[in-house]
Chains A and B, each alone.
Chain A
């Protein structure tokens, strides 16, 4: 048995409490009486994922509210609805008294449970949609274009259900909040044209609502005067236990509650639901909130709205270049198109085409935070026309850069160069957005964004991004998205000293590079690989993999000896930081085992040194150090002495360290970076 395996088995015997604490058992509600539940649990386990929940709720409410007095809408303060009085813990209401229910549910909780239970028929309705192939009606195979190789099968909804997009929309908005209804209706489309193909299937053109998902696989399609539901797309939305619901918080416009949810065998007892007061009635917002999904979904919705706005702006800008047709003025390489005043609005009338820098700034500041607006405006400038000795016209810019937009003599021009090359593409995949941190004034989030630069060079199309929405001027505004080639500059809120520090940190990049290059796995291909058995007793059959980095390294500059390594470190780092790193390297002697492995005796007692120098050769461990992304252009000086600068900077990596600190010291005739090498 290997030593590590023995240790593993010893760890297996550790205190059971420690084991339990590491992976806490999901808190059970006070009681679960699954077998006594009215609704079909097993059936519901096969429900489709997210909009399934919405559909469930929607038609549940429909059934409930159509067939019975409306407890939510009619008078939210009556006893049939959710009472607005404070909870009375431990008191059981006889109307809702149930032997299954533990006495520690408040009367209010019980009322809520009763309301939610009444909504259960919704699940059956949903089953009719997704489980039941209609007894009458022809299933249709729809392709979304002539070339679309993946069509979906849809079947007509029975007469019990909405028969058109408008009917469904009306129904949904009647009983649900705008948000929930809006999410649901994203998946309901109208097909414009239907063409039957030779094989009996249909090619359709789906109404373009401007939302990508509507152009692919909508859940419902209104086609040929009939509403069809998609036959595929099952998922597991889990089983909600509404008889575990408890009211958590209440406001004048919202009742929040939690309940138990079982999904894939895992129990989530903190699933959140909300009922909101909107449009004169209490309306169900949404049932299922996995952890922070409610927030995330709201964020995603907001982002879509905001990015749609940004997209419209760009669309308008781009169209302006096209509409005018010919360049109006030239300035060297750049051609500028005059933005015609008669194209002031896009068809949807959302935006007014800016005709001046001020108008553009106003437009941007309406939707974007100051930082983002300033960044965009750095590409917008004013200028004037001048003529040279030969009578040729030139443009004199107020700034030295060629702006994308140029205001000259009260008219706005757009650069044709920008049209071709610098069209900003925010490229955000809104559906991936997840909140990483929230404060009173900001919502920071993570998302997948397009990375065209990387994509063009053969890499992935998407990359992990950070974004933020900030509260400014009384409104939440999009701060910025960044992707390749679209990294906003930081605002001038930094002092000269901060900027100086940032410049220093920039100059230290070679040092940073040294550290990163050490860890670069791309170096592996450049050197011969060795298997070192560091124990010397042959009990480790595989050994550690090292590469010989003593030879020429074209892509990666490795030190050729420990002395050289130390010099490289001391060039950029303080003695303390260099010593820290040097403590993880050592010298050794090697004997060839003849089977591709080598026994190595080290001159230090290290588990696995990053570098080993053997007989004048340097060997680097394959799984070397790793680094943390740091954003030095967020650095701010905290205090400064004659030989020390203490600063903070922000590591914006999702789940990262947030604000960190560092030190620069004056040593050996220069300012040296002090850092923890492995962090």
Chain B
């Protein structure tokens, strides 16, 4: 079923929209949750929660890309579950590595810490990150998103983009540095 049709079912408050969503993107969403939670059962539970949140969000929300929209919800729920369980402290899965790497993008003594706390700034920072990503090469952007959005391992990314793991690592390293510079330049870091 077309994404628009699914959204229309949501808008009409027809629960078949959920089953259609599940049929179309269930595997995809579960894989996202599994990357973060490292547990299939937890991932299924997470995706179910995400369906409910999507149901409550649409309407009024009008997803631009339904797949990514619900994917975001899944990630948010998954991070919440992870935080609840304290699993990230165990360092399991890719998520701990992802956090570690993202630390590089933030200056130690930056004011970004404070700005993060202000909701009003968040949107601007996201816009800034969007602008940054759009300025990156297609390869670097894709690798970055696969790593820090999809939380895929280096080897998985390498396989997906058809490049050596080393090349992926180098790309991520450079993009992280550039993001740091970009955030600094934009005034989100000193």
Residues of chain A touching chain B, judged by Cβ–Cβ distance below 8 Å, are 2-23, 25, 265-266, 534-537, 539-540, 605, 607-608, 626, 628, 653-657, 678-679
- Given contact pairs A2-B99, A5-B79, A16-B64, A626 touches B145 in the complex (Cβ within 8 A): no
In the complex, what residue of chain A is closest to B134 when comparing beta carbons?
Answer: A18
Known contacts A8-B102, A536-B108, A605-B107; decide if A18 and B130 are in contact (CB<8 Å): yes
Q: How far is the CA of A25 from the CA of B24 in the complex (A)?
A: 10
- Is there an interface contact between A18 and B166, defined as CB atoms closer than 8 Å? no
CB < 8 Å neighbour of B116 from A6, A608, A655: A6
- Chain A, residue nearest B75 (CB): A12
How many residue-residue contacts, CB under 8 A, span A and B? 129
B145 and A14 contact, CB distance less than 8 A: yes
Contact A14 B106 (CB under 8 A): no
B162 proximity list for chain A (CB < 8 A): 655
B44 at the interface (CB under 8 A from A): no
B interface SS class: helix
Q: Does B186 contact A (CB under 8 A)?
A: no
Apart from A18-B134, A657-B167, what are 12 other A-B pairs with CB-CB below 8 Å? A3-B112, A15-B133, A17-B65, A17-B68, A18-B145, A19-B68, A21-B142, A21-B145, A266-B27, A537-B108, A628-B166, A678-B170
- Given contacts A20-B67, A656-B166, A4 and B130 within 8 Å (CB-CB): no
Q: How far is the CB of A365 from chain B (nearest CB, A)?
A: 33
Q: Which residues of B contact A12 (CB under 8 A)?
A: 72, 75-76, 79, 149
CB distance from B86 to the nearest CB of A (A): 13
Q: Which parts of B165-181 form the interface with A (CB within 8 Å)?
A: 166-167, 169-170, 173, 177, 180
- Residues from chain B with a CB closer than 8 A to the CB of A265 are 27
* Whole-angstrom distance between the Cβ of B88 and the nearest chain A Cβ: 8
Cα(A11)–Cα(B176), bound, Å: 12
Q: Are A535 and B102 in contact (CB under 8 A)?
A: no
Docked complex Cα distance between A3 and B162 (Å): 32
**B126: interface (CB < 8 Å):** yes
**Are B130 and A15 in touch, CB under 8 angstroms?**
yes
Does B63 sit at the interface, judged by CB under 8 A? Answer: yes
Cβ contacts under 8 Å, A10 to chain B: 116, 122, 125-126, 129
Given contacts A653-B166, A654-B164, contact A4 B65 (CB under 8 A): no
In the assembled complex, which residues on chain A have CB atoms less than 8 Å from the CB atom of B113?
Answer: 3, 539
Smallest Cβ-Cβ distance to A629: which chain B residue: B166
Known: A22-B150, A679-B170. A607 touches B104 (CB 8 A): yes
Chain B residues whose C-beta falls within 8 Å of the C-beta of A537 in the assembled complex:
108-109
Q: Which of B103, B109, B126 has the most CB of A within 10 A?
A: B103
25 CB < 8 A contacts A-B:
A4-B102, A5-B79, A7-B116, A9-B76, A9-B79, A12-B79, A14-B126, A14-B129, A14-B130, A14-B149, A15-B130, A16-B72, A17-B65, A19-B145, A21-B142, A22-B146, A23-B146, A265-B27, A534-B108, A535-B108, A536-B109, A607-B104, A607-B180, A655-B163, A657-B167
Q: Which residues of A contact B64 (CB under 8 A)?
A: 16-17
- Residue on A with the closest CB to B72? A12
A492 to chain B, nearest CB (A): 30
Q: In the complex, what residue of chain B is closest to A23 when comparing beta carbons? A: B150
Contact of B65 with A7 in the complex, beta carbons under 8 Å: no
Bound CA span A169–B72, Å: 54
